[in-house]
Structure 1
């Protein structure tokens, strides 16, 4: 694994990283990694005000370029055809390739929520490139669409603290 990390530009030795956590930290990390992705939901954006959340070092560039290229794209509820159709892929390709060398693994696949007011479920996700995910989620954060998730998370925490 160390060789893989180094070959992809990382220099972190995973053995050293785990050792630095200590016994309790390593046990907590192992437990967290054993949980299904659904257990996390939208924890990050429900804990931090999305307007202040920084996803990459290039957030400003990603957002500006995204809205230049896709000014009218409805990011609240995505139409899969606007991401996956042949015509859409032709429009997205230059945008995505613009971030080669800027965003690590820009063209790797990841899951993206179709409706930003709902959690990650089989019905509410689509496979997208990493840069598409960043562009859309950064825009959702900056334009206030992820505020609903943040507000719901804050309400849940408040109820838990009261009980």
Structure 2
């Protein structure tokens, strides 16, 4: 365990670990989007703490427009300073709260290279809970009902 106390700059990036993480993040994004396109988002339960996460998020970020997230504004120093204490509140209660997770920048669109932002899991949960509870994700089922079926048909063939 002493190795975990060593400075991070002593370790090299393992490309195979990074590739596995990226695949897992992409799989999570694909599954989540398919669920959004299949179920009324207002009925989704992402964690046992959904109501608490949403309540605290809206207390801390009452005016944040979650429909379209500007990555530059989200990751600027002032925003990071505000998000850090929010995220840390969930350190011991949300599993993998700081895990890198892909989130759609524009809630009306599918994941793509241009529409994906890397955020912490708790940021993803807070923003997606707001999108679900506030009706922003509601149009995805109508707009993407065929793409979910097509993707599942392709997966069956593989």
TM-score normalised over the length of structure 2: 0.72
Alpha-carbon distance in structure 1 between the residues aligned to 2:131 and 2:82: 20
Find the residue that maps to 1:147 and give its secondary structure.
coil
Aligned equivalent of 2:117: 126
Structure 1 residues 78, 71: CA separation in 2 closer, same or farther (over 3 Å shift)? same
Look at both structures and tell me which one has the larger radius of gyration over its CA atoms: 1
Alpha-carbon distance in structure 2 between the residues aligned to 1:122 and 1:108: 19
Alpha-carbon distance in structure 1 between the residues aligned to 2:36 and 2:54: 17
- C-alpha contact 1:41 1:119 (8 A) present in aligned 2: no
Residue 74 of structure 2 is aligned to residue 83 of structure 1: yes
Structure 1 residues 79, 39: CA separation in 2 closer, same or farther (over 3 Å shift)? closer
Q: 4+ residue stretches of structure 1 with deviation over 6 A?
A: none
Aligned equivalent of 1:65: 56
| Cα RMSD, aligned residues only | 2.2
Residue 41 of structure 2 is aligned to residue 50 of structure 1: yes
Q: Which has the higher contact order (CA 8 A, sep 6+)?
A: 2
Find the residue that maps to 2:139 and give its secondary structure.
helix
TM-score normalised over the length of structure 1: 0.70
Shift of 1:83: 1.6
Shift of 1:150: 2.1
Name stretches of at least 5 consecutive residues in structure 2 with no aligned partner.
1-22, 151-158
- C-alpha contact 1:81 1:88 (8 A) present in aligned 2: no
Residue 83 of structure 2 is aligned to residue 92 of structure 1: yes
- How many pairs align? 124
Aligned equivalent of 1:22: none
Alpha-carbon distance in structure 1 between the residues aligned to 2:30 and 2:43: 24
